[in-house]
Amino acid sequence: MTKHGKKYTAAAAKVDFDKVYSAREAIALAKETSITKFDSTVEVHMRTTLDSRQADQQLRDVVVLPNGLGKTVRVLVFAQGEGAVAARAAGADLVADDDETMKKIEGGMLDFDVAISTPDAMGKVGRLGRVLGPRGLMPNPKAGTVVSAQDMERAIKEAKAGRVEFRLDKTNNIHVSIGKASFEVNKLIENYAALMDAVNKARPSGAKGNFVKRITVTTTMGPGMKMDPNEHMDGAE
């Protein structure tokens, strides 16, 4: 059995682990039971009935959270020529348009949170798959991170504003951050509602019934609260 510290034990005492809370109750309680000295991340974990081994049950998409994530997002762009110019003009933190930068990234320089690429640069980016892939940083058309030079400004703005990718993992779960514990409850509710709307819209063709069977919300190192996956988001649509 896992041993917990005094702070966690005191926070957990406020939680009824058998209860299925409403979204508002659970998120408010997550804020109340945050135990870290730093501003904890509020995380949503979904257990699904999907099977990640089946092609018609894959789930991967993006959502722009209306209130962002409460952190500075560093954006790297792989591009050449017009794409590189557009990326710099749009505020990219780093533009990889030369061999030296590509070699640094291949060597493990990963001082960025989101990677975007133009289609013509993907040939070179593909060689970095073993570095970017395991960290979820590989640009992907489905995730909206492979874009034309003309669409670069929008992609960078969305990434910096709180654009979040969600996907089904190998254990058929989805894990997504929806903000910080310092956020007001209503702002977290709005972010959660946007996420759930996006998850429902991304429903795979092979999904049966309500494919999200359990949802838990927690803060970094804090206790988890079960939420009703069937709840209509009152006041946060």
- Starting at the earlier edge strand, list the strands of the sheet with 94-96: 94-96, 75-78, 114-117
- So what's the pLDDT on residue 232? 56
**Contact of 109 with 119, CB cutoff 8 Å:** no
- So what's the pLDDT on residue 237? 39
C-alpha to C-alpha distance for 196 and 194, rounded to whole angstroms: 6
Boundary residue ending a domain (140, 160, 180): 160
Q: What is the largest CA-CA distance in the chain?
A: 58
**Contact of 44 with 195, CB cutoff 8 Å:** yes
Instruction: Supply the CATH number for residue 44's domain.
Output: 3.30.190.20
- So what's the pLDDT on residue 136? 84
pTM of the predicted model, to two decimals?
Answer: 0.79
Tell me: do 169 and 131 sit in the same domain.
Answer: no
- So what's the pLDDT on residue 233? 40
Boundary residue ending a domain (111, 131, 160): 160
The crossing angle, in degrees rounded to 10, of helices 81-89 and 152-161 is: 40
Question: Does residue 234 lie in a domain region?
Answer: no
- So what's the pLDDT on residue 143? 83
User: Which of 11, 1, 6, 2 lies closest to 220, judged by CA?
Assistant: 11
- So what's the pLDDT on residue 236? 39
Tell me: do 198 and 209 sit in the same domain.
Answer: yes
Q: Which domain holds residue 215?
A: 6-69+163-227
Question: Does residue 1 lie in a domain region?
Answer: no
Instruction: Supply the CATH number for residue 121's domain.
Output: 3.40.50.790
**pLDDT per residue rounded down to tens, the chain (237 residues):** 466 788 989 898 999 999 999 999 999 999 999 999 999 999 999 999 999 999 999 999 989 999 999 888 899 999 999 999 999 999 999 999 999 999 999 999 999 999 999 999 999 999 999 999 888 899 999 888 999 999 999 999 999 988 888 999 999 999 999 999 999 999 999 999 999 999 999 999 999 888 999 999 999 999 999 999 987 543 333
- So what's the pLDDT on residue 81? 95
- pLDDT of 198-225, one tens digit each? 999 999 999 988 899 999 999 999 999 9
The DSSP result for the chain, as a single string, is -----HHHHHHHTT--TT-EE-HHHHHHHHHHT---SS-PEEEEEEEES--TTSGGG--EEEEE-TT--SSPPPEEEE--HHHHHHHHHTT-SEEE-SHHHHHHHHTT----SEEEE-GGGHHHHGGGHHHHGGGT----GGGT-B--GGGHHHHHHHHHHTEEEEE--TTSEEEEEEEETTS-HHHHHHHHHHHHHHHHHT--TT--S--EEEEEEEETTSPPEEE-TT---TT--
Question: Does residue 236 lie in a domain region?
Answer: no
Tell me: do 49 and 155 sit in the same domain.
Answer: no
- The count of structural domains within the chain is 2
Boundary residue ending a domain (115, 143, 160): 160
Tell me: do 97 and 146 sit in the same domain.
Answer: yes
C-alpha to C-alpha distance for 117 and 28, rounded to whole angstroms: 38
- pLDDT of 72-100, one tens digit each? 889 999 999 999 999 999 999 999 999 99
Tell me: do 56 and 170 sit in the same domain.
Answer: yes
Whole-angstrom CA distances from 108 to 29, 100, 105, 132 are 39, 13, 5, 9
- So what's the pLDDT on residue 2? 62
Tell me: do 34 and 105 sit in the same domain.
Answer: no
Tell me: do 171 and 155 sit in the same domain.
Answer: no
